[in-house]
Chains A and B, each alone.
Chain A
């Protein structure tokens, strides 16, 4: 889609200002029902669009992403603009700086339409954990869009943005992409700087994309990737233009498939996934059945390591330096039971009691428990050792295959409220996506087809995982399937 819009811009068929207005009109019309956007940045968008139109008018060359409007998950800091992370605790937080990914998008001339809804601090699988109400799935308003980048996924599915940024800690770009029928991509850990991405779990978090096509994902990733002095875990920059590798070649590419993954699915979902495998065979790829015995431990390992990192990262939201500061009624009395003034500790307790939602509290406490004296070895260290074993499994398999194919999710979108009271059921949504975060490999979800639930056709995606820093190989394989459809 981005390339087509780019062609229209340079041919003068439409201006960037007109295109931007068109998207704001779509938001106006559709977002009352969907709640995908938390904040619109009209002034910023128009200013950016005008600059690009001026360049085109002067006959200057523009880049692919220049003048193309997109949306940003509200967990990425945008200078001078409210950035909430979906939490009450950051309700009035105006980011004083741009995340590196945002800075790069601005330098590339991309137009930013607004900030999209998410599960609080990017924890959840449905966007129901947002303090600003759930986002609805554009394919069925009674269903969730997935999460945590549910706002960005819904914005793409309802054509309220040409591209969108998300973040992916355990599947937060890919799972909503599967449920909304769009493309969701998580790069290799370190490919994109995490500076200005409000941290959930630092060893898993990556900035990712939600887009209409595989090529769009490649174009946006090319713009935001690269080493950054503000993030010591960002990897050496390759300056690759990933979109230049999409040559449709798939012949001889070895695709690993775990048989048990497909066999465990409901019949209609299984048929959709088998059709994808058949398609790849037809296109000339070689299907290799692989065995990954440690994969089943990825989810339990994740739910120890991730909350542990969360408990540390979210300690900064304490009402001291920025964000909500709450003092409840009894604190307003001048003295406590010992006749002394109320102390900082009470500010901490009240601020975090009122400011954080249930899931954030749950994970902070889980992490605090797993890291506490006497439990650290049994939980955290054991999980990090299991993580090593899972990575070794991937290293072994990637000697034999180029990419690994799995379903993205076990089922299409579920109903709003269906899993809200059962955290464990919600966690199981990540079962296929979380291994890519555990191992750091790049992964992408591509629409595979639809299945019917209660008379409605709902989309579902398949996932490809690639080798570390082989985004071009991953995109090429995903793109070859996409153009065959």
Chain B
């Protein structure tokens, strides 16, 4: 299964990864060979199988719907790449 360069470019954009031309070429080869490998799943008769949802079958794990303060808010704020007045400063979206 061949993944063309323009498809790789499109996927990279969807995944928000910047790539240069050389990388696009390399990933096109890599991803194509991996897709060839997973192709063998097509041999399996899956008609009667349900898709796996949770491997050990845990269900209904609930808790009280109440917020809790995080123990170390200042530790989180220190990680902001750019801080302004106690807020995380980012570029405009549009």
Report B-chain residues with C-beta under 8 Å of the C-beta of A297. 40-41, 44
Taking a contact as CB atoms closer than 8 A, the residue among A94, A304, A311, A469 that contacts B15 in the complex is A311
A93-B79 in contact (CB<8A): yes
A361 within 8 Å of B by Cβ? yes
B19-A353 in contact (CB<8A): yes
Chain B contact-residue range equals: 35 or more
A160 within 8 Å of B by Cβ? no
Min CB–CB distance B26 → chain A (angstroms): 8
Q: Mark A350-385, 1 if CB is under 8 A from B, else 0.
A: 101100101001101110110010000001011111
Taking a contact as CB atoms closer than 8 A, the residue among B8, B41, B78, B90 that contacts A386 in the complex is B41
Closest A residue, CB atoms, query B68 = A229
B50-A388 in contact (CB<8A): yes
A381-B51 in contact (CB<8A): yes
A321-B80 in contact (CB<8A): yes
A301 within 8 Å of B by Cβ? yes
* Given A303-B34, A348-B16, A366-B34, 13 more pairs with CB closer than 8 A: A79-B72, A96-B72, A97-B71, A97-B72, A188-B56, A203-B54, A233-B61, A294-B44, A341-B91, A341-B92, A364-B15, A365-B31, A423-B33
Chain B interface helix/strand/loop/mixed: loop
B56-A440 in contact (CB<8A): yes
B88 within 8 Å of A by Cβ? yes
Residues of B within 8 A of A (CB): 3, 8, 11-12, 14-19, 23, 26-27, 30-31, 33-35, 37-42, 44, 46, 49-52, 54-56, 58, 61, 63, 70-72, 75-76, 78-82, 88, 90-94
**Which residues in window 312-357 of A have CB below 8 A to B?**
315, 318-325, 341-350, 352-353, 356
Min CB–CB distance A2 → chain B (angstroms): 28
A94-B79 in contact (CB<8A): yes
Q: Mark A170-190, 1 if CB is under 8 A from B, else 0.
A: 000000000000000000111
| Central interface residue in B34, B42, B79, by most chain A CB within 10 Å | B34
A391 within 8 Å of B by Cβ? yes
Question: Could you list 23 A-B pairs, sorted by A, with CB under 8 Å?
Answer: A93-B79, A96-B70, A189-B56, A190-B56, A297-B40, A301-B41, A303-B34, A304-B41, A321-B88, A322-B76, A325-B82, A349-B17, A349-B18, A361-B27, A365-B8, A365-B11, A369-B3, A386-B46, A388-B49, A391-B55, A423-B30, A424-B34, A439-B55
Bound CA–CA A469/B52 (angstroms): 19
Bound CA–CA A325/B82 (angstroms): 9
Report A-chain residues with C-beta under 8 Å of the C-beta of B50. 385, 388
A300 within 8 Å of B by Cβ? yes
Closest B residue, CB atoms, query A381 = B51
Report B-chain residues with C-beta under 8 Å of the C-beta of A275. none
B79-A322 in contact (CB<8A): yes
Chain A interface helix/strand/loop/mixed: helix
A389 within 8 Å of B by Cβ? yes
CB-based closest 9 A-B pairs: A96-B75, A353-B18, A322-B79, A440-B55, A349-B18, A325-B81, A384-B51, A385-B49, A385-B46
A235 within 8 Å of B by Cβ? yes
Report A-chain residues with C-beta under 8 Å of the C-beta of B12. 361, 365
Bound CA–CA A325/B90 (angstroms): 10
| Central interface residue in A325, A347, A365, by most chain B CB within 10 Å | A365
A468 within 8 Å of B by Cβ? yes
| Central interface residue in B15, B18, B50, by most chain A CB within 10 Å | B15
Report A-chain residues with C-beta under 8 Å of the C-beta of B34. 303, 362, 366, 423-424, 427
Closest A residue, CB atoms, query B12 = A365
Residues of A within 8 A of B (CB): 79-80, 93-94, 96-97, 188-190, 203, 229, 232-233, 235, 294, 297, 300-301, 303-304, 311, 315, 318-325, 341-350, 352-353, 356, 358, 361-362, 364-366, 368-369, 372, 379, 381-389, 391, 423-424, 427, 439-440, 468-469
A386-B49 in contact (CB<8A): yes
Report B-chain residues with C-beta under 8 Å of the C-beta of A440. 55-56
Report B-chain residues with C-beta under 8 Å of the C-beta of A387. 51-52, 55
Please judge, given known A-B contacts A97-B71, A297-B41, whether A365 and B51 are in contact too, CB under 8 Å.
Answer: no
B16-A318 in contact (CB<8A): yes
Please judge, given known A-B contacts A362-B27, A381-B51, whether A320 and B14 are in contact too, CB under 8 Å.
Answer: no
A321-B79 in contact (CB<8A): yes
Min CB–CB distance B49 → chain A (angstroms): 4
B38-A379 in contact (CB<8A): yes
Report B-chain residues with C-beta under 8 Å of the C-beta of A366. 31, 34-35
Report B-chain residues with C-beta under 8 Å of the C-beta of A381. 51
